[in-house]
Amino acid sequence: MGYRAILFEANKHIATITVNRPQKLNALNIETIKELHHALKKANENKKTKVIILTGSGDKAFVAGADISEFADFNEKQGKQLAAQGQELLFNFIENLSKPVIAAVNGFALGGGLELAMACHFRVASDNAKMGLPEVSLGVIPGYGGTQRLPQLIGKGRAMELILTAGMIDAKQALAYGLVNHVTTQEELLPFCEKIADKIANNSPVAIGTAIKAINAGFKAGVNGYAVEIDLFGKSFETDDFAEGTSAFLEKRKADFSGD
């Protein structure tokens, strides 16, 4: 599939996906959401790829939100469908991928852009980044999971304030809130994320996928995360990666999880 709105680059164990509509500050229209879904699925299914990095093109924006021009005349039914389709194809899809997705937040991450970063497994920001959920200033509310994931990540009171004021926080504040894990210069952002990806890539891909599942379980309504952990912990003992990881440790050698 040829992409129009994104760039896809696979290099050794890292797939880098870049939202590429810089003239619109990388705003997410439906086409971009579909292309991101396709590229993420492809990266997740590629055996060589161990980590996915998601970023925006240019030095100004990660993603400045859902494309406002696309939904300006929507009614209730269309609004619901927009949110449901986006959550299924992109936001929940990313959260539940078995490969880690790191958001490299290289500038504005607003509305759907911050929601996209929050759906990723964790976030690193450059020092020029600005984040917020300004939807109430447009007369709507966040619809791509923002009212749920922002309180999970920074706490209910801070999320209430950020959403209700439609305000923006800078990278330093986002770091203090725990919304991003690290802040770097713009030049260092991708190399820094790649270094974290290299560390992840040394570990068992099967166990990594399982850990993501167990961590996510604790945030799903009606699911007992501890019970899911017990179940998945037990299942780990039946995997080839467990056999390899433990024997490598006992034989004092580096584990080889390539499966070759």
Work out how close the CB of 193 gets to ligand COA at its nearest, in angstroms, rounded to a whole number. 22
**67 alpha-carbon distance from chain centroid:** 19
103 with 120: CB under 8 angstroms? yes
- CB nearer to ligand COA: give 43 or 133: 133
Work out how close the CB of 69 gets to ligand COA at its nearest, in angstroms, rounded to a whole number. 5
The three-class DSSP label of residue 122 is strand
126 with 184: CB under 8 angstroms? yes
How many CB atoms within 10 Å of residue 187? 10
| Site track 152-191 with ligand COA (rule: CB under 6 A), x = hit | ----------------------------------------
Residue 82 near ligand COA by CB under 6 A: no
Residue 24 near ligand COA by CB under 6 A: yes
The radius of gyration of the chain from alpha carbons, rounded to an integer in Å, stands at 19
Residue 67 near ligand COA by CB under 6 A: yes
Among the residue ranges 89-97, 120-128, 132-140, 191-199, the one whose residues contact ligand COA (CB under 6 A): 132-140
Considering 135, 161, 187, 229, which one is annotated as catalytic?
A: 135
Sorted by sequence, the CB contacts under 8 Å of residue 162 that are 6+ apart come out as: 132, 133, 150, 154, 169
Residue list 134-153, contact with ligand COA (CB under 6 A)? 134-135, 138
**Is 238 designated active site?**
no
Question: Which residue in 65, 145, 205, 245 binds ligand COA (CB under 6 A)?
Answer: 65
Q: Which residue has the tokens 């959403």?
A: 163
- Residues 1-35, buried b or exposed e (16+ Cβ, 10 A)? eebebbebebeebbbbbbbbbeebbbbbbbebbbb
| Site track 186-225 with ligand COA (rule: CB under 6 A), x = hit | ----------------------------------------
**Is 135 designated active site?**
yes
Comparing CA positions, the residue from 173, 117, 121 lying closest to residue 146 is: 117
For 111, the token pair is 């509305």
Size of the site for ligand COA (CB under 6 A): 16
Q: Which residues here bind ligand COA, judged by CB under 6 A? A: 24-25, 27, 64-69, 108, 110-112, 134-135, 138
Active site members: 115, 135
